[in-house]
Structure 1
Amino acid sequence: MFAYRAARFLPNKLITALINRRSLSREEVQRLAEQREAIWYIEEEDPIEISQCYTGTGERLFDGYPMEFSPARPFVIEIEDGHIVGPNAVVFSEDHQVVIESIRSEEFDLNLLKRPDDLHVPPSVFAIFIRRLLNIYSYTAPYYEEDCVFPLISPDASYYHWVVEYLPKLRLLEHYERQTGRTPTVLVESQPRDFVRQSLHLAGVDPLRYREWTNVERRVKRLVLPIHQLQGLKNRAPHRSRYDPSRTGLEWVRTRMRSNISDGNTGGKERIYVSRQKVQSSRSRKVANYDALVELLRDYGFTTYVLEELTFEEQVELFADADIVMGPHGAGLVNMLFANDPLVIELLPEYKKTPYFYYISDMFDFEYEPIVSSTTDGDLLVDIPDLRSRLNALGI
């Protein structure tokens, strides 16, 4: 609350001066790292152009969302005498400047705060930044607790964002190790969620290599920080979405995970329905007429799965054998990444038509079929006769 009030009532010029003095943008931290020869790039990615999406009835979907992307070139830097502060592990340089690359914000590209002359910045955005700045005077670590650390802590609760934004960073970690010969300690969240632990294990990160974050300051001799390619979409303001995809990063996750599962699970036979009936959330997007839906899907050879009941490795094995992936809009659909060439059928609630999973489908040339459903109290009310007709039209 204090941060928001300060952001709202302090003069814009004063806040701008504070931000410029106490922060490092992506461009600034890259330039400093280049001067120190402490930055390592990997290959530049080709531009990504997403094709227009239509429903089976010809309705055009996802208007207003960006459809063309020029992915940032992935890099990893080494910060000497760095500090990590607070529950979200915000990084500070040796000069006590906050490194914006370490702050995840779907609300706004915080790098733009460094050049706000003609920019309208909401008070809530300044508040995000000021809250981070309040930590800079609380350093108490008198010595290097670690020689070399790679922070991998997601402040987002979503499985989707962990898979598409954080697991690809392991590719940059391995690149750093090859270039320097050093093996950083991987810093993970306190009491890691099951999918965090299990996905790191399947990716080849030994549990003995990582350490849990204790939500306090840590001083590090060599702080290894990768680019953060945020992939957030704003349903109410599509044009303000912050989406920086990395197809090669997702391909790395896909290949690495599939290479570490047992053989014989890639025949493409499974017809998977991803159930959200057990999701505990006010925005659960369950299916109100679930029994009727399951009865219909049984006729078409679908098996229903509750992914929360499976380990990460079991999910990868399941989807590696997928022919069709179907389910309501939700994080579990990101597992389509581990399939060979699936048909993806997404049940979209009429109030939340965001193209997270269409983007992935299009980038990997998966066939995608959107089905928009009416809702009741936030849950989907699937038109069963219409769905049957759509499945028949698809030749299922």
Structure 2
Amino acid sequence: MKGIYKKHIESISKKAGVHSVVEDYYNTLLGSISDKAILTREELRNRADSVYTFSSPETVCVSSADEFSDHYTYGDSHHFKQPFIAEIRGGRVLNGSGICTTENYQPILDSDKSVKYELVWRISLRKLLVKSIKNKLNEENNRYDHNTVVPFTSTVRTENESVNYFVWVHNYITKIQGIEKYSQITGREPKILLPKNSPSWMIESLRLFGYDNDLVFWNPEDELRIRRLVIPSNRRGEKLTNNRTMDHKILSPIACEWLRKEAEKCLEIPKAEYPSKVFISRGDANRRELENRDEILNHLRDRGFVSYELTDLTFQEQVSLFSQADQVVGVHGAGLINLIFSSQCSLTEIFGDQFVPTYFLLAQSLGLGYNAILGESTREKDTPPRHQNIKLDPEQLSIIPS
């Protein structure tokens, strides 16, 4: 034992007769201070106190987009095992990150985005080791802060910032089917735990699906202990290594179809309020803007497209807009995740020099049409290529279906 961690052990080992127990426990845990300590989806299924399965396994087949991309790779098929809801008794919500752990501080990958290296960046496994030892000695208060909770706490990023809209819809809203099934199977109505100061679109989206009085807000400075921590398995692929593969962006078609149909049942806005041809202008963005947006918009208007800036719309309005669109044209950005609410739509996505297959993979999962247009990045200094503004030749718009 070295340095500060030895001091931690000595400070909590002064009780008579416990030093050797603590040292043995410390040495055992020290060997597991790595990303192997994190519970993957399959390990969560095997180690949870209770597991409730629903729906069915499925396989997503993906065609190649090699003509666009030499930066990312993905498999031509992806298999999803049967989804489930895990119940962890005495589970924890870590302060700061909002990552969830077992009672003994094993981090749960599916409480976040299912990307292991990102989770490792956000927590200190060594600090969790010390917490685990203190817990072993029963030095912590064993009270529960909440009874039965579904944590959406890992959406926090900084004091005044959360995950973006894409991650929220792609990773968290797609868990709602699991929450519904948990209530049906157990008869329990879990609260949904959110960071305080969550963006309005998070709350609006949950309210659309009927979760209004079920929301509880959490101060990210606090660590919580939960009597029943309810973790619906993520409905996207896992990423267990740090590489250029994009399989973790592939979504379950069954989850998407369920979500779309439930959203349409809840909509209060008539579909006729919106056109069938939609252009997402990104005029409200501070990166990846179209340098010649007015020129492009004029060409698209001649073809019947109507321009929208998604920040001007509520969550319900965005769902309604995409749910009835036949064609969507837009620059790569978070708002295109609303494609998940479309059933018969074709997306034409605009990039600069670099293609990113996120929405190509979504379109493949949903069986929707897809085209990509590569424009010219404007080469701004100190701006990553995928975030640079774009200039597009209007003639390239001819690829858009009539």
TM-score (ref. length: structure 2): 0.78
**Of 377, 381, 388, the match for 1:375:** 377
- What is the distance in 1 between the residues matched to 2:238 and 2:46? 26
- Structure 1 letter corresponding to 2:218: W
1:239 CA displacement: 3.2
Distance 1:176 1:213 in 2: 22
Decide whether the 8 Å contact of 2:29 with 2:129 is kept in 1. no
Unaligned runs of 5+ in 2: 1-27, 157-161, 381-387
Q: What is the count of residue pairs matched by the alignment?
A: 354
How far has the Cα of 1:364 moved from its partner? 2.0
Q: 1:44 and 2:56 equivalent?
A: yes
The answer to whether the 8 A contact 1:266-1:320 is kept is no
Alignment match, 2:188:
182
TM-score under structure 1 length normalisation: 0.79
Pair 1:319 & 2:322 matched: yes
Shift, 1:146, TM fit: 1.4
- Rounded to whole Å, the distance in 1 between the matches of 2:318 and 2:43 is 40
User: Is residue 386 from structure 1 mapped to residue 396 from structure 2 by the alignment?
Assistant: yes
- Determine whether 1:272 maps to 2:278: yes
Q: What residue identity is the alignment partner of 1:152? A: F
Distance 1:174 1:318, change over 3 A: same
CA distance in 2, matches of 1:297, 1:335: 20
* Cα-Cα RMSD: 3.1
Moved more, 83-92 or 187-196: 83-92
Query: In the alignment, what sits opposite 1:7?
Result: none
Residue in 2 aligned with 1:213? 218
C-alpha spacing 1:108/1:170, structure 2 compared with 1 (3 Å):
same
Given candidates 68, 72, 76, the residue that maps to 1:67 is 76
Task: Report the Cα offset of residue 296 of structure 1.
Answer: 1.1
Partner letter of residue 210 of structure 1? L
Question: How big is the shift at 1:134?
Answer: 6.5
| Conserved? CA contact 1:145–1:218, under 8 Å | yes
Query: What is residue 18 of structure 1 aligned with on the other side?
Result: 33
Aligned to 2:5: none
Question: How do residues 90-105 of structure 1 correspond to structure 2 at under 5 angstroms?
Answer: 90-104=99-113
Superposed CA deviations along residues 96-141 of structure 1, whole A, max 9, x for unmatched, are 333343344636387xxxxxxxxxxxxx769764466566569965
Please state whether the residue corresponding to 2:96 is helix, strand or coil: coil
Cα distance between partner residues in 2 of 1:100 and 1:342: 33
Q: Residue 29 in 1 paired to residue 44 in 2? A: yes
Hey, what's the Cα distance between the residues in 2 that align with 1:86 and 1:126? 11
Q: Distance in 1 between matches of 2:301 and 2:102?
A: 57
Amino acid of the residue matched to residue 369 of structure 1?
Answer: N
User: CA separation in 2, counterparts of 1:18 and 1:150?
Assistant: 27
Contact 1:141 1:218 survives alignment (8 Å) = no
Cα offset for 1:60? 5.0
The equivalences for 1:102-251 within 5 A come to 102-104=111-113, 106=115, 108=117, 129-130=125-126, 142-153=142-153, 154-155=155-156, 157-206=163-212, 208-215=213-220, 216-230=222-236, 238-239=244-245, 242-251=248-257
1:337 to partner: Cα distance: 2.3
Answer yes or no: is the 8 Å Cα contact 2:53–2:82 preserved in 1. yes
Structure 1 distance, partners of 2:234, 2:130, is: 23
Q: Which runs of 5+ in 1 are unaligned?
A: 1-12, 111-123
